[in-house]
Structure 1
């Protein structure tokens, strides 16, 4: 029935920058389509031609897909920073998880929860990247 499920984020005009940043952190294949790159006939709204209509980051080794676009609704305030949605990165070793955590932190992020041994036995930590998206890094007891 379901072929795949991907994470989809809508950011307030920073989707291209965020996707490029995540591409630097995780690698993979990045595709960004702006409204200027597609036909706009029949579009129910008039988008900013520079806004991201759709972007996908396909992570290496089939690890997942992150997709997104720029928010087009100026009438609503959709806060990004928070825990309503987050991305969980699970790695084979604690060193790999710590390295990802540190890359997000070192490029303008802030600690949500320090990366350390969690009460349930795994290594775990949360970092908010510079776009306000929460990333949780985890590794089973290593």
Structure 2
């Protein structure tokens, strides 16, 4: 795999305990395409950098490295949002893969279809679809 430039002006970069398993999960749950995985030298099973493309956008992921000042912490104070054309399809696939429902998908007060899920790694994902009036 090769390093690919980010395709958007802002690329989320998250750390997860178990990057390789998370990448496989994101392939299944969010139709992701793994672009790059770089193992950490001398640290079996640890990933220093990876890139997965989800919904035409890059997401960078690495493992935690407590020995180097990056301790494992639970994801907090952010969500990863997927704005899609068919929210129900994305929702059903993510739930079937193992995401848990945080806020059910429904038409919200602002008029869009929207819901929140939590993946097995503690990351909150939101799925939205604009509803044309």
Which band: TM-score by shorter chain? 0.7 to 0.9
* Aligned CA distance change for structure 1 residues 10 and 77 (closer, same or farther; 3 Å): closer
> Aligned ranges for residues 88-107 of structure 1 at < 5 Å?
88-92=81-85, 96-107=86-97
Using the size of structure 1 for normalisation, the TM-score is 0.76
TM normalised by structure 2 equals 0.80
Give the drift of 1:113: 0.5
Q: Which runs of 5+ in 2 are unaligned?
A: 1-7
Could you give the per-residue CA deviations for residues 96-124 of structure 1, whole angstroms, max 9, x where no partner exists?
A: 21121222212222111000000100000
- Shift in Å, 1:58: 2.4
Q: Name the structure 2 match of 1:108.
A: 98
Partner of 2:121: 131
**Residue 57 of structure 1, CA deviation:** 0.7
Describe the shift of the 1:31–1:71 C-alpha distance in structure 2 as closer, same or farther (beyond 3 A): same
2:79 matched to which residue of 1?
A: 86
Structure 1 unaligned residues grouped into runs of 5+: 37-46
* TM superposition outliers: structure 1 runs of 4+ over 3 Å: 74-77
Partner of 1:58: 53
